[in-house]
Each structure stands twice: as structure tokens, then as C-alpha cells.
């Protein structure tokens, strides 16, 4: 087991150069987020992540949660860590100040959230779900709901959950069956079974506020008949104190592959006379409300991919520096040295590092778009950023989490046999990472969103605008005096061509050959992610090259090497992915069902 | 009662320190810096005194380069009310820092100066003692417990073989040991508030003191790497080696 140290310098570099932090801190409402304050916040958050959350990551994984009679006891140390987390005010970092949050830019909370996820992904899911619920109530709830629930949820005294999935309604939420009957006093009696409810039951907070999708008796069938309800574990009295236990119970918790310390609950609502719930916004618009915050949740899951990759990299690097094994090929001294000196171990670590930095670059870049889309005074700029944000959201979610699979996989490989042993700690990262490509919409769902809603439905304009920017960076690189940057530019040119060709094929075939298009959706998403990652690392390399003469040549030099590795080892994958998109659908669809 | 807390900016305790290539010191370029952990304990103690209504104001002081402002902000995020940076780009050795602090004490008139027993960079363990001597104040070093009793302090200190309890009149200088308290984590709202607290800068040169270093560093080198051990055949051989080679028994 190794500890975690937040890569604050890398984070700040990306926040400044790609998110546009300096400009964001001049936007209305974000004036407080000056660079020195952001540095102080990252320093303190990094300390908290290292000292409080990281030490209970492995123990939480081993111990998991214990369910008995509807109650869930969290792993040792989680209750205390959560209390400290709330006391220090971290829970409400991006939430509005009117409800006790700090109203900081998404760019800042994104970096902080990455730290929580790296240190302890299972723990940080609780905050993620609570903040998602806060967002839903803040955007769509009545003032009464906001005032009753938000202050305690922002402080973390109460936590939140999302109750969407049912046994028959997974990715297809149109199949939701839970029912809501009016009780005549404005509230509703909720009944039904929900599964896969993250942090659905636990002992860290005094109340749990469930957001539940259910159908009213007169609701139309399908997605247009689903409403959203607030259903608290303990009812809240008019004076804000906690009242009676609501009619809902955690029927069991799942035995999972990873994120063991986060309880995944089966929730039974209304087994007696109906759980009391309160309608959020208007009837039958629940799914639409969930989707408004789903985008943010998807970015946050993409960020989990970045975070777990970073943790796996740090773990593998520490081992590679320490483990002495074998003689190094071509090393005349004949001394035994740490395995970091073996070329293939270096290749694996470079691969982990470069892919992790590329995913971070994309996630933070999109966080910056989110801040501008929300707070920029110029409507045209807001629109432009909103469009970029929508285009890239499925890529952040799908690509960053898919990349994390390979990075955590290599994390084990670097360890050799020790990596396969649970006590080493490398396995946990791979097991924890595994859920990220599944929940909050699988990679295929992200990919279908990308090729359908985000590209084909709007004629590919958002993608064309992005490609225009890719080309501008590519030209700066290819025309640069530095040979290394030129090489990155040449590789990026081929990758951009691959993206253009795949996009043109999609636009030409999406309507006429929907199955063929869908068969190539995931390769297309990965292609987009790789090109975007190469583009952003290239932009960072251009900045780093300019600063090479300054005081920090080592740091900036490393950025050049990382971008070059990505250009030489990852960008070539784009040609293969293009081929799979434009010429690979037939074999996907050819085999008769019976021959599988 | 006003409390003055000197805080030093040092290499973060998590950083693996490297010696500079020219052996003139340790590498500080682009190394993560932080508040000296012993000083952080001093800040925590002062803030607790304030929370217990024993202290009225906590003033954090740091001497050194402009970046020491970050260290002062860290102290203010824990709860110090305001800060003073005594700016100097020159090397400041313990005696120079003690002289600067004496000048600040004369200006600020605190009843208590509480600081770390030593800084984790050079481990000098001198500043507090020198300051007490320069001021002619009583001192209690290596404090593991501090109680304010009206005009006096009762300080428990860690000494070889046990604990010693001293009572001293105020004003006084106290230096902190590791077990005095466990510093809190700064809360996010307090980190944000710290930015708005007053932080005054005083040029060290304006104090009219002789701050010239008294010690010259000749060379800084890494400790000798541990040599590999040897297997001994039996206990007899082990005892023989301990007696005749290591000469420890």
C-alpha cells in the first residue's frame, strides 16, 4: 500500500492553461477564486486527501460495509473521516452560497474532487451523490423543498442519493414501475423497489434524502410519465427537526467487485403504508430533471477515471523505484537496479502517465467550458462553451473511464507477481475503476449519445468547430522550430484526418444505416478522446516549451516528453479506430444470432 | 492577552529532500513548501487559547521571502487574526530571526510568544531560547501542555526520563513539542476568509538590526548510504562481531 500525494503542480498547470482559470476568476460570481486562493485550497485539500481519506482506502476495501436488519455499518474510520470532511466544509465546495456552499468555480471543485477520488473513491461517491441531489433540488425544487433540505445537504449533515434503477429498468428508464399516489395533503405515498442505490443506507449522517423516480397513477406510459420525488429517510418537521422514520428500508446491500466501502443498496419503499415523498418540480418531468444534472454527474464519473488512473500510477511508480530485480539491458555497470530502469517498465509507466495526463487535460478543459457556459457575461461565449461542453461530456465520461481500465491494468503489470496479490494494493484500483465505465450510463450509451444527439442530430457543427481548433494547434506544432513539437504536430495531423474521415462517414450513414453507425460508436468515442487528448497535451507542450528557459525546466521538459509519448504511442491508434468505424460494421453485424 | 506566533516556511515534510549539485545546500527550487509542523502546533495552541477566551488576538509572523505570505495565510486559515511578514531575501539564521522577533515584540507587546521548538529544515532549536534571552523573559521549551492561570503560565515539558512542570510569569516565550496538540485541518470557509485578513509587510532592513549570518556553510552532503548487512553463521559469531567489530557490547 502506498499513500497518495495530490499532483498539485500538474493540476494547476492544466487549470491555468486549459481550463482558463485566470480568466474564470474574473467572471461574475467567481471573483473570489484568485490563483493564490486556489493554490491554498488545493494545498489544504491535498493534505486532507493524503492524511484522512487515503489511509482508510485499503482498509475500507477489505472490510466493506456490514448490513444487519436494514441498517448499514460503514467500514472503520469512515464515520470519523466523514464528520471531519463536513466540519472542514469540503462537502459544499461547488454549491451555491445561499445554501451554505462556497460557490467556487467547477474548475476548482473538479481538481479537489479528483483528489478525493484518488484518495478514496468509495468515500467520495457519497459527496458526489449528495451534490447531484442538491443540484436537482436547487434547479427544479420548490422554495419549501430547497429551504428544508439544501442547507443540511450542502453541509453534509444529511446525504443524498439517486433512486433511478429498478430490477427491470436499468439503462432503459422508461420501464420504471415505482408508484406515487397522492395522499391528499400535497405529499405522495411512494412504493416500489430500487436497486444499485449508491450510499443508499449508512451510519455516517443523521438523515438520507432519496431522490426517487416514480409514476403517478394517471401518468402516460414511457419516459414522459416519470416524476421525481424527494423521499427522506426521516421525515422533517416544520421546525426543521427530524421526525418519524419514513416507510423505506434498505433490504440488502450488494457484494461487488470494487468500491467495497460504498454501500450499494436495494431500497424498498412503501412496504407498509407508503413512503411519504414530495414532488420535485412538475409531474411527469422527472427524467428530464435527472438529465439536467446527469451531465455534471457524467463529468464527475469521467473524473473518477482520471483520479483512479493517477492513484494507480503513483502506486506503480513507487514500486518501480523500490523493487530491485534483474540486470538492465545495455547497462555496462552490471549492477542490479530498480525495475524503473528496465525499458519496458518505463514504457508502461510512461503509458500510464501520458494517458492519465491526457484524461485530466480533457476533464479540466471541459470543467472550464462549464464555468464559462454558466457565468460568462457574453451570451455568444456562453453558447459556444455550452455546445463544446455538450459535445465532449460523453467523451469525458466514456473515454476517461475506458482509459482508466488500461492504466490500472498496467498498474498491476508493473508490479509483476506482487501486483496480483491483494495486499500490495494494486488490484484495488483496477477493481474500483471497473464500475466507472458502467454506472451513470455505460460507454456504449455515452458513445450513442455522442454520435446521435451530439453529432448526427445537429449536422456535425459542434464537431466541425472543435476540429477547426484542433487544426490551429496542429499547425502551431507542425510549424514550430523545435523538432519534438514538429513530430507531435505531424502525428496530430494524421489523427485529425482520421477523426474527420470517421465523422464524415458517420454523418453520411447515421440516418441511412443506424445499426452500422452504432456498431462503430464506441471506437468513434475512443477516437475522439484520443485526438482531443493529443490536442490538449500538444497545447500544454507549446506552453511548456515557451517556459523552458524559466526556472522550472524539469517540470516543463516533462510535459514535452509526455506529449511526445502520447503522439508517438497513442495517437497512431486513431487510424485503427477510424478503420473500425468506417469499415468495420459489417463483421460486427454479420454473424447470425445462432452462431454466437 | 495578545499572542505572537512566529511561523517558518520549510520544505514540506512529505518531500524527499535532495542535496544541490554544488553541495551548497538542499534543493529548494520547485519543491513543495509548507508551514513548519512545530509552528503549526504553536498556531493551533494560540488559537485554542483564543477560543477558550484566554487570548484576545493571535498574530502570525514570518521572516523571509515574499512566498512566506503563504505560510502566514496557512496560520490565518487555522485561526490567527492577522499576519506580519518581515521581508528579506537574505539568509536569516536563528539569531537574526530572534532579533527581528524581539523588535516585533517591542512593537506589538504580546504577553506570550509561542513557536515551534525547532524547524524541520535545519533543526537548529535556538530561536525561542535566543528570543527569551534577548527579551529577558522566562522561557519554557518543549511544551507538551500549556495552561494559562491569570498572570502565570503552567507548562508541562518533555525532558529525558519524564515530564517537568514549570510555572512562569507572563510575558513569556514557549516552544512547542509534537505532543502539545494535534492541529486541526483548516476549513474551506476559513481558507477563504484567511485571504481577507490583514497581512502587513515590514522590510527587515528597516528595523536597523545586524542580521548578518554568524555561521558559514562549508558543504552539504547526503548521509552515507546504509551498507548491506552480512549473515552470521551462529550466535557465537554474532556476539564476537558485536564485541570486536562494532564494539557495542
Mean pLDDT of A25-48: 93
Q: What is the pLDDT of residues B93-137, one digit of tens each?
A: 999 999 999 999 999 999 999 999 999 999 999 999 999 999 999
**End-to-end alpha-carbon separation of chain B, Å?**
54
Contacting residues of A for B190, CB less than 8 Å apart: 89
| pLDDT over 80 (residue B172) | yes
Q: What is the pLDDT of residues A448-468, one digit of tens each?
A: 999 999 999 999 999 999 999
Catalytic residue chosen out of the listed positions A135, A440, A469, A586 = A440
Gap between the Cα atoms of A477 and A566, Å rounded:
14
Nearest Cα to A113, choosing from A57, A49, A54?
A: A49
Angle A215-A450-A15 (CA atoms, 0-180°, nearest 5)? Answer: 105
Contacts of A517 (CB under 8 A, 6+ apart): A451, A456, A506, A509, A510, A585
Contacts of B244 (CB under 8 A, 6+ apart): none
Say if the Cβ atoms of A36 and B30 lie within 8 Å.
no
Give B151's pLDDT tier (boundaries 50, 70, 90). confident
A592: β partners: none
pTM summary value: 0.92
**What is A380-435 written as a DSSP string?**
HHHHHHHHHHHHHHHHHHHHHHHHHHHHHHHHHHHHGGGGGSGGGSHHHHHHHHHG
Cell of A452: 446521435
Task: Find which of A40, A86, A94 to mutate to test the B interface (most B CBs within 10 Å of its CB).
Answer: A40
**What local confidence, expressed as pLDDT, does residue A105 receive?**
95
C-alpha distance from A31 to closest chain B C-alpha (Å):
12
Active site residue A166: no
**End-to-end alpha-carbon separation of chain A, Å?**
42
Task: Find which of A36, A54, A82, A89 to mutate to test the B interface (most B CBs within 10 Å of its CB).
Answer: A89
Chain pair A-B, CB pairs under 8 angstroms: 57
Q: What is the pLDDT of residues B199-238, one digit of tens each?
A: 999 999 999 999 999 999 999 998 888 887 888 999 999 9
φ/ψ (deg, to 5) at B50 = -70, -40
Q: What is the pLDDT of residues A260-281, one digit of tens each?
A: 999 999 999 999 989 999 999 9
Give B29's pLDDT tier (boundaries 50, 70, 90). confident
* Mean pLDDT (chain B, rounded): 94
Q: How many CB atoms lie within 10 A of CB A531?
A: 28
User: Cis (ω within 30 of 0) for the bond into A576?
Assistant: no
Task: Find which of B20, B188, B194, B199 to mutate to test the A interface (most A CBs within 10 Å of its CB).
Answer: B188
Say if the Cβ atoms of A44 and B192 lie within 8 Å.
no
Cell of B132: 527569551
Cell of B93: 539564521
Helix, strand, coil content of chain B in percent (nearest 5): 30, 30, 45
Share of chain A above pLDDT 90, in %: 91
Say if the Cβ atoms of A36 and B186 lie within 8 Å.
no
* Mean pLDDT (chain A, rounded): 95
Contacting residues of A for B195, CB less than 8 Å apart: 32, 34, 36-37, 40
Q: Which of A8, A37, A554 sits opposite B195 (nearest CB)?
A: A37
Give A1's pLDDT tier (boundaries 50, 70, 90). low
Say if the Cβ atoms of B185 and A36 lie within 8 Å.
no
Say if the Cβ atoms of B185 and A37 lie within 8 Å.
no
Q: Which of A34, A48, A552 sits opposite B30 (nearest CB)?
A: A552
Angle A119-A121-A127 (CA atoms, 0-180°, nearest 5)? Answer: 105
C-alpha distance from B141 to closest chain A C-alpha (Å):
28
Q: What is the DSSP letter of A50?
A: I
Contacts of B246 (CB under 8 A, 6+ apart): none
Say if the Cβ atoms of B191 and A37 lie within 8 Å.
yes
Say if the Cβ atoms of A37 and B192 lie within 8 Å.
yes
Q: Which of A41, A52, A554 sits opposite B191 (nearest CB)?
A: A41
Say if the Cβ atoms of B73 and A89 lie within 8 Å.
no
Residue ranges of chain B whose CB lies within 8 Å of a chain A CB: 14, 29-30, 32, 34, 70, 73-74, 77, 185-192, 194-195
Say if the Cβ atoms of A40 and B74 lie within 8 Å.
yes
Secondary structure (H, E, C), A522-578: HHHHHHHHHHHHHHHHHHHHHHHHHCCCCCCHHHHHHHHHHHHHHHHHHCCHHHHHH
Say if residues B115 and B42 touch (Cβ distance below 8 Å). Answer: yes
A51: nearest CA partner in chain B: B185
Q: Does A324 touch chain B (CB under 8 A)?
A: no
A87: nearest CA partner in chain B: B187
Contacts of A504 (CB under 8 A, 6+ apart): none
Compute CA distances A546 → A126, A135, A478, A516, whole Å: 42, 41, 15, 45
**What local confidence, expressed as pLDDT, does residue A261 receive?**
98
C-alpha distance from B195 to closest chain A C-alpha (Å):
7
Say if the Cβ atoms of A40 and B188 lie within 8 Å.
no
| pLDDT over 90 (residue A293) | no
Which of A86-95, A277-286, A370-379, B171-180 bottoms out in mean pLDDT, i.e. has the lowest? A86-95
Contacting residues of B for A34, CB less than 8 Å apart: 195
Q: How many CB atoms lie within 10 A of CB B133?
A: 13
Half-sphere CA count of A415, side-chain side, radius 13 A: 28
| pLDDT over 70 (residue B50) | yes
| pLDDT over 90 (residue A247) | yes
Gap between the Cα atoms of A9 and A17, Å rounded:
12
Which residue pairs from A492-497 have beta carbons closer than 8 angstroms and sit at least 24 positions apart in sequence?
A492/A531, A492/A534, A492/A535, A492/A538, A492/A567, A492/A571, A494/A571, A494/A572, A494/A574, A494/A575, A495/A530, A495/A531, A495/A534, A495/A571, A495/A574, A495/A575, A496/A467, A496/A470, A496/A471, A496/A531
Cell of B24: 551548497
Amino acid at each position: 500500500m502506498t499513500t497518495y500525494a495530490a499532483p498539485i503542480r500538474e493540476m494547476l498547470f492544466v487549470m491555468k492553461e486549459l481550463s482558463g482559470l485566470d480568466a474564470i476568476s474574473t467572471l461574475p460570481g467567481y471573483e473570489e477564486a484568485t490563483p493564490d486562493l486556489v493554490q491554498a485550497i488545493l494545498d489544504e485539500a491535498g493534505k486532507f486527501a493524503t492524511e484522512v481519506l487515503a489511509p482508510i482506502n485499503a482498509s475500507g476495501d477489505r472490510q466493506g460495509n456490514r448490513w444487519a436488519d436494514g441498517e448499514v455499518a460503514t467500514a472503520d474510520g469512515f464515520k470519523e473521516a466523514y464528520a471531519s470532511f463536513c466540519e472542514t466544509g469540503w462537502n459544499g465546495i461547488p454549491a451555491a452560497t445561499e445554501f451554505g456552499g462556497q460557490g467556487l468555480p467547477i474548475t476548482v471543485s473538479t481538481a479537489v474532487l479528483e483528489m478525493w477520488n484518488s484518495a478514496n473513491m468509495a468515500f467520495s461517491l457519497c459527496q458526489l451523490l449528495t451534490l447531484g441531489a442538491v443540484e436537482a433540488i436547487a434547479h427544479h425544487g420548490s422554495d419549501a423543498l430547497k429551504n428544508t433540505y439544501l442547507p443540511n445537504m450542502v453541509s453534509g449533515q444529511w446525504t443524498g442519493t439517486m433512486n433511478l434503477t429498478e430490477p427491470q429498468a436499468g439503462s432503459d428508464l422508461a420501464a420504471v414501475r415505482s408508484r406515487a399516489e397522492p395522499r391528499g395533503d400535497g405529499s405522495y405515498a411512494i412504493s416500489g423497489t430500487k436497486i444499485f442505490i449508491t450510499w443508499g443506507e449508512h451510519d455516517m449522517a443523521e438523515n438520507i434524502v432519496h431522490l426517487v423516480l416514480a409514476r403517478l397513477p394517471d401518468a402516460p406510459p414511457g419516459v414522459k410519465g416519470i416524476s421525481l420525488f424527494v423521499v427522506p429517510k426521516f421525515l422533517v418537521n416544520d421546525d426543521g427537526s427530524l421526525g418519524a422514520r419514513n416507510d423505506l428500508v434498505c433490504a440488502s446491500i450488494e457484494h461487488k467487485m470494487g468500491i467495497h466501502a460504498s454501500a450499494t443498496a436495494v431500497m424498498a419503499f412503501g412496504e407498509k403504508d407508503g413512503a411519504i415523498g414530495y414532488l420535485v418540480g412538475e409531474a411527469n418531468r422527472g427524467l428530464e430533471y435527472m438529465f439536467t444534472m446527469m451531465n455534471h454527474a457524467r463529468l464527475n464519473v469521467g473524473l473518477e477515471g482520471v483520479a483512479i488512473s493517477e492513484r494507480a500510477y503513483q502506486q506503480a511508480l513507487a514500486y518501480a523505484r523500490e523493487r530491485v530485480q534483474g540486470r538492465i539491458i545495455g547497462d555496462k555497470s552490471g549492477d542490479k537496479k530498480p525495475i524503473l530502469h528496465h525499458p519496458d517498465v518505463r514504457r508502461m509507466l510512461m503509458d500510464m502517465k501520458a494517458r492519465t495526463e491526457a484524461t485530466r487535460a480533457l476533464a479540466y478543459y471541459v470543467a472550464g467550458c462549464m464555468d464559462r457556459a454558466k457565468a460568462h457575461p457574453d451570451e455568444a461565449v456562453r453558447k459556444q462553451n455550452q455546445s463544446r461542453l455538450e459535445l465532449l461530456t460523453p467523451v469525458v465520461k466514456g473515454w476517461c473511464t475506458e482509459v482508466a481500465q488500461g492504466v490500472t491494468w498496467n498498474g498491476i503489470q508493473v508490479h509483476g507477481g506482487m501486483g496480483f496479490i491483494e495486499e500490495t494494493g494494486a488490484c484495488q484500483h483496477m477493481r474500483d475503476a471497473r464500475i466507472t465505465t458502467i454506472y451513470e450510463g455505460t460507454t456504449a450509451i455515452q458513445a450513442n449519445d455522442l454520435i446521435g444527439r451530439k453529432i448526427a442530430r445537429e449536422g456535425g457543427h459542434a464537431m466541425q468547430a472543435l476540429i477547426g481548433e484542433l487544426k490551429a494547434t496542429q499547425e502551431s506544432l507542425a510549424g514550430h522550430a523545435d523538432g519534438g513539437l514538429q513530430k507531435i504536430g505531424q502525428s496530430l495531423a494524421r489523427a485529425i484526418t482520421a477523426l474527420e474521415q470517421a465523422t464524415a462517414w458517420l454523418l453520411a450513414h447515421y440516418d441511412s444505416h443506424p445499426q452500422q453507425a452504432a456498431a462503430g460508436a464506441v471506437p468513434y468515442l475512443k477516437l475522439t478522446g484520443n485526438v482531443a487528448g493529443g490536442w490538449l497535451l500538444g497545447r500544454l507542450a507549446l506552453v511548456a516549451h515557451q517556459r523552458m528557459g524559466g526556472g522550472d525546466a524539469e517540470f516543463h521538459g516533462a510535459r514535452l516528453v509526455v506529449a511526445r509519448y502520447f503522439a508517438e504511442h497513442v495517437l497512431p491508434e486513431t487510424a485503427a479506430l477510424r478503420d473500425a468505424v468506417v469499415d468495420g460494421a459489417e463483421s460486427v453485424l454479420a454473424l447470425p444470432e445462432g452462431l454466437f | 492577552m495578545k499572542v505572537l506566533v512566529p511561523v517558518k516556511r520549510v520544505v514540506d515534510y512529505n518531500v524527499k529532500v535532495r542535496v544541490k549539485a554544488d553541495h551548497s545546500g538542499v534543493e529548494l527550487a520547485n519543491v513543495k513548501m509548507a508551514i513548519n509542523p512545530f509552528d503549526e502546533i504553536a498556531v493551533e495552541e494560540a488559537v485554542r487559547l483564543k477560543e477558550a477566551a484566554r487570548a484576545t488576538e493571535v498574530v502570525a509572523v514570518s521572516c523571509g521571502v515574499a512566498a512566506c505570505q503563504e505560510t502566514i495565510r496557512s496560520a490565518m486559515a487555522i485561526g490567527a487574526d492577522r499576519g506580519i511578514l518581515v521581508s528579506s531575501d537574505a539568509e536569516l539564521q536563528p539569531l537574526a530571526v530572534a532579533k527581528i522577533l524581539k523588535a516585533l515584540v517591542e512593537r506589538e507587546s504580546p504577553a506570550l510568544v509561542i513557536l515551534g521548538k525547532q524547524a524541520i529544515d535545519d533543526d537548529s532549536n535556538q530561536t525561542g531560547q535566543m528570543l527569551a534571552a534577548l527579551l529577558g523573559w522566562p522561557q519554557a521549551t518543549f511544551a507538551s501542555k500549556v495552561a494559562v492561570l491569570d498572570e502565570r503560565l503552567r507548562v508541562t515539558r518533555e525532558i529525558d526520563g519524564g515530564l517537568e512542570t514549570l510555572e512562569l510569569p507572563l510575558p513569556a516565550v514557549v516552544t512547542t513539542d509534537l505532543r502539545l496538540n494535534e492541529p486541526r485541518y483548516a476549513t474551506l470557509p476559513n481558507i477563504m476568509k484567511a485571504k481577507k485578513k490583514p497581512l502587513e509587510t515590514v522590510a527587515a532592513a528597516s528595523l536597523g538590526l545586524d542580521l548578518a549570518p554568524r555561521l558559514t556553510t562549508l558543504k552539504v552532503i547526503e548521509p552515507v548510504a546504509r551498507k548491506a548487512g552480512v549473515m552470521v553463521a551462529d550466535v557465537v559469531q554474532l556476539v564476537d562481531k558485536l564485541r570486536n567489530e562494532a564494539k557495542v557490547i
